[in-house]
Amino acid sequence: MYTIDNKSYPCCTSVTMRFIGGKWKAVILHHLIDGAKRYNELRKDIPTITERTLSLQLKQLEEDNIIDRKVYTEKPPLMVEYTLTDFGKTLLPVLEAITQWGIEAPVNSKKIIKN
């Protein structure tokens, strides 16, 4: 049994999914693998995510210490960049495995059509 923020998780897989589960977290993290991105860059990279959802997911990932949010205020306009933290980088093997599975899935399933 594991506990995070006073909530119990029955196994190690549920702990992992607590941090990257849902429709968008792994997608956002995938786009941060190669380095820092600004909010608008993420919006362009993930056109089907709503602004509200992106903001909420980024906030959760930041609260979980998976990503770091850096605000640059030296000169207008205000700029915000997101990067993976060292803790977030420990998820790279998991994200790479998810990505590889997604690449190979259309070959192994007639249900998946790559456009």
Sheet of 37-38, strand order: 37-38, 79-84, 67-72
Cβ atoms of residues 15 and 9 within 8 Å: yes
**Structure-token pair, residue 75:** 């000169």
Mean pLDDT to the nearest integer, 16-41 = 94
**Structure-token pair, residue 56:** 């909420």
Q: Give residue 34's pLDDT.
A: 93
Per-residue model confidence as pLDDT tens digits over 65-96: 999 999 988 878 888 999 999 999 999 999 99
The CA-based angle 113-35-89, given to 5 degrees, is: 85
pTM > 0.85: yes or no: yes
Burial 59-88 (b: 16+ CB within 10 A, else e): ebbeebebbbeeeeeeeeeeeebbebeeeb
Overall fold of domain 2-99: Arc Repressor Mutant, subunit A (1.10.10)
Mean pLDDT to the nearest integer, 32-47 = 95
For CA atoms 89, 93, 95, 100, the dihedral sign is positive
Q: pLDDT-derived band of residue 11, with 50, 70 and 90 as boundaries?
A: very high
Instruction: List the chain domain ranges.
Output: 2-99
Mean pLDDT to the nearest integer, 94-108 = 92
